[in-house]
Amino acid sequence: MNPSTPQKNERSTAAALTQFVLWVNLAFFVVSGILALVDYGFAAVSALVPPAPAEAVQAAEDAAPWWKLWAACNAGAAGFALLSLALGRFAFFRRLGWFVRDYWLRKNALSAVFWLAVMTGFGFAVVAINVQINNWSKTFYDTLNALEAAKLYALISQYLIYIAIFIFCSVSRAWLRKFLIIRWRAHLTDYFLNQWFARGAYYRIALRQSTDNPDQRIADDINIFVSRSIELFVSLLTNLAQLYSFIAILWNLSGTHTFHLFGRDITITGYLVWIAAAYTLLGSLFTQVIGKKLHKLNYDQQKFEADFRASLVRKHDHAEQIALYKGEAREQAGLRQEFGAIVGNWRNLIAKELHLGLFTTGYDRFSLMLPVLASVPLFLAKKITLGGLMQIRSAFTAVFNSLSWFVFAYSILPEWSATLLRLSQFRENIAFEQGEEKTAPEAETTALEGLSLFTPEGVPVLENIRAQITPGRWTQLAGDSGLGKSTLLRTIGGLWPYYGGAWTQAAGKTLLLPQKTYIGKGTLAEILSYPAEAPVSDGLCREVLTKTGLAKWAGSLHETRNWAQTLSAGEQQRIAFARALLIRPDYLYLDENTSALDTASAHALLALLKTELPNTTVVMVSHQPELAEFYDEVLDLRAFRAVRPSESTASAQPKR
């Protein structure tokens, strides 16, 4: 390990925490600006019903100056930063911390943080409006009880203005939430695509099968994680602000109440707050007990769904082969079995969700009457008016909802944590596979000096291969089927990472043409020019099409079709030869890429390569004896079979 790594990590952590505090300060001033505008609007609306209630005047006088709020905000940010360092020891928070730092604490995150602060400001504005409506409700119901018609109409006008501000802030917050979701999702998708393709990680992940369904993790899991993260963050922050705003109101409205219990008088200050807290605590405990298995069930459900979808895609891609074998019954049975796993897990999932739903629904509905029942003693004692009773109900509901955030978010938390785990495992597997990349030292020739090949599981394939590939000549890799010829071809082509021993790789441009040609989406010109990002000129495309026996498609260069189904297997192999003519590699590796061609066509195409690429070194695997005339050398791999260890030092011998 590099000894400078710990210091580097400490510096990066310190920089991230410093940036976090700076972003918090930015967010504070943005949110303060939005709330100042809202307060200005409240002042204008309050003029509709003069004079201002004494409670509102007193609240304005008691409001903390901005600098105290700013100091409290920075103290909270510093405390949160220290808490993050402590929680970083736990795997869950360490994984979550990486995703947060990667986007929100990067150097160019100013725009994202600004809009997040604006969205948060709108959320706080909604809370402020709810506080005003809570105060308004007391005045309204007291006025209604007193039958003061003139003041009642003014209060209705005031309420309509509150609702208009509420709608604007709520809709703006919802729009910004979706705006931030797509930006964060685009960033993460770009990151995972870059890392997945970097250093051949995607290829080794497929070989080792270390990650199931990478497509689902990129397409679905990122979307779920980002959406749920922002949703949970906004709801948590808004509920904390709501709790802070309404708990003082409920505490003051509760006053001091004396209960007679077991022959003793018990006096409790702010008893409605304690009732809300106790009720919420019991709800949280029951929710945890009932829903604790939902995390694993959600994780398994996502995996089973992805497996089933991947199987359906494979059936679509191999429809002709299945039809030729008449394998419909076998395929249906396999799909039914995979879907059965979905159904079985789904039943367990909905059973747990049923139990959780029965509790949370009853828990929620009873909470609507709980504040009224708890306030009856105050109302009967004439300590509060009808307006006060309605204000208590509104404030109690706000406090209860804030304290119950965990209960109502529990249905989202398992899915969110499952996607976080899947994405983290995917990222860790990508990093591991990137570290597994092997590159042989470059030399003038490709020389194998005791090279041994293994499967991804570590099972030996070929052992102690000693040979040399002569530059500019054609070499055949000979041996029985399944011996490991294609594995060796992929190794010297720079793809197969599971080997031991020493070997050198000749410098130059390489190209490996497999038995099955990759035909992606796009026009014929784009497919022909693959892997170049832009197609080559039409004239050059037509030239190579004509040379490789595909002249009939020369007029379809700019047509977009399902070319993988339009072109026959033989035509697809001709496309591979056309690509070789366009790329003009220094080293060309052919893995049975004439298997779908008749002997005459195979002869013609290989002769074309000899003519067009006279200086290219070719290493070929083929079971067509008719092509033997093209080989300059033959490397028989049977002497290096892993099941029969050999100390042979045979090298590629000239063909006799």
Q: So what's the pLDDT on residue 649?
A: 40
Q: So what's the pLDDT on residue 2?
A: 40
Q: Which residue has the higher pLDDT, 476 or 245?
A: 476
Q: CATH: 3.20.170.30, 3.40.50.970, 3.40.50.300, 3.40.50.170. Which one for 442-519+567-654?
A: 3.40.50.300
* Mean pLDDT score, 366-395: 80
What residues are paired with 503 via a beta bridge?
Answer: 448
Write out pLDDT tens, residues 63-108: 444 444 444 555 554 555 555 555 555 677 788 888 988 888 887 7
Q: Is the pLDDT of residue 54 over 60?
A: no
Rg (CA), the chain: 35
Element (H, E) at 605: helix 599-612
Q: Is the pLDDT of residue 535 over 90?
A: no
Q: So what's the pLDDT on residue 171?
A: 93
Q: So what's the pLDDT on residue 62?
A: 44
Q: Is the pLDDT of residue 39 over 70?
A: no
Write out pLDDT tens, residues 16-36: 555 555 555 555 555 555 555
Do 267 and 257 touch, CB atoms closer than 8 A?
A: yes
Q: Which residues of 542-554 are buried (b: 16+ CB within 10 A; e: fewer)?
A: bbbbebbbbeebe
* Mean pLDDT score, 536-542: 93
In angstroms, rounded to a whole number, what is the distance separating the alpha carbons of residues 250 and 399? Answer: 8
In angstroms, rounded to a whole number, what is the distance separating the alpha carbons of residues 581 and 583? Answer: 6
Average predicted confidence (pLDDT) for the chain: 80
Q: Binning pLDDT at 50, 70 and 90, where does residue 11 land?
A: very low
Q: Binning pLDDT at 50, 70 and 90, where does residue 434 land?
A: confident
Tell me the percentage of the chain whose pLDDT exceeds 70.
82
Q: So what's the pLDDT on residue 418?
A: 84
Tell me the percentage of the chain whose pLDDT exceeds 90.
28
Q: What is the 3-state secondary structure (H, E, C) of 400-448?
A: HHHHCHHHHHCCCHHHHHHHHHHHHHHHHHHHHHHHCCCCCCEECCEEE
Choose the weakest-confidence range: 148-157, 177-186, 631-640: 148-157
12-434 is classed CATH 3.50.50.60: no
Q: What is the 3-state secondary structure (H, E, C) of 43-112?
A: HHHHCCCCCCCHHHHHHHHHCCCHHHHHHHHHHHHHHHHHHHHHHCCCHHHHHHHHHHHHHHCCCCCHHH
Q: What is the 3-state secondary structure (H, E, C) of 132-186?
A: HHHHHHHHHHHHHHHCCHHHHHHHHHHHHHHHHHHHHHHHHHHHHHHHHHHHHHH
Q: Is the pLDDT of residue 309 over 70?
A: yes
Instruction: Let me know if 65 is exposed, middle or buried by CB neighbors in 10 A (0-12, 13-18, 19+).
Output: exposed
Helix (H, G, I), strand (E, B) or coil at 620: strand
- CA-based max dimension of the chain: 116
Domain span(s) for CATH 1.20.1560.10 in the chain: 12-434
In angstroms, rounded to a whole number, what is the distance separating the alpha carbons of residues 395 and 389? Answer: 10
- Whether a cis peptide bond, with omega within 30° of 0, leads into 614 is no
* Mean pLDDT score, 335-357: 90
Q: So what's the pLDDT on residue 615?
A: 93
Q: So what's the pLDDT on residue 4?
A: 40
Instruction: Let me know if 339 is exposed, middle or buried by CB neighbors in 10 A (0-12, 13-18, 19+).
Output: middle
Helix (H, G, I), strand (E, B) or coil at 323: helix
In angstroms, rounded to a whole number, what is the distance separating the alpha carbons of residues 104 and 398? Answer: 30
Q: Return phi, psi of residue 593, to 5°.
A: -85, 15
* Mean pLDDT score, 317-337: 81
Q: Is the pLDDT of residue 381 over 80?
A: no
Domain span(s) for CATH 3.40.50.300 in the chain: 442-519+567-654
Q: So what's the pLDDT on residue 8?
A: 42
Q: Binning pLDDT at 50, 70 and 90, where does residue 273 land?
A: confident
Strand order in the sheet with 446-454: 442-443, 499-506, 446-454, 460-469
Q: Which residue has the higher pLDDT, 259 or 424?
A: 424
Q: So what's the pLDDT on residue 35?
A: 56
Helix (H, G, I), strand (E, B) or coil at 477: strand
User: In 3D, which of 248, 254, 180, 533 has the Cα closest to residue 398?
Assistant: 248
In angstroms, rounded to a whole number, what is the distance separating the alpha carbons of residues 72 and 67? Answer: 8
Q: So what's the pLDDT on residue 439?
A: 74
Q: Is the pLDDT of residue 586 over 90?
A: yes
Q: Is the pLDDT of residue 266 over 80?
A: no
Q: Is the pLDDT of residue 353 over 70?
A: yes
Region for 592 from its dihedrals, namely left if φ exceeds 0, alpha if ψ lies in -120 to 50, beta otherwise: left
What residues are paired with 617 via a beta bridge?
Answer: 587
Q: Which residue has the higher pLDDT, 532 or 552?
A: 552
In angstroms, rounded to a whole number, what is the distance separating the alpha carbons of residues 380 and 445? Answer: 99
Q: What is the DSSP letter of 266?
A: E
Q: Is the pLDDT of residue 467 over 80?
A: yes
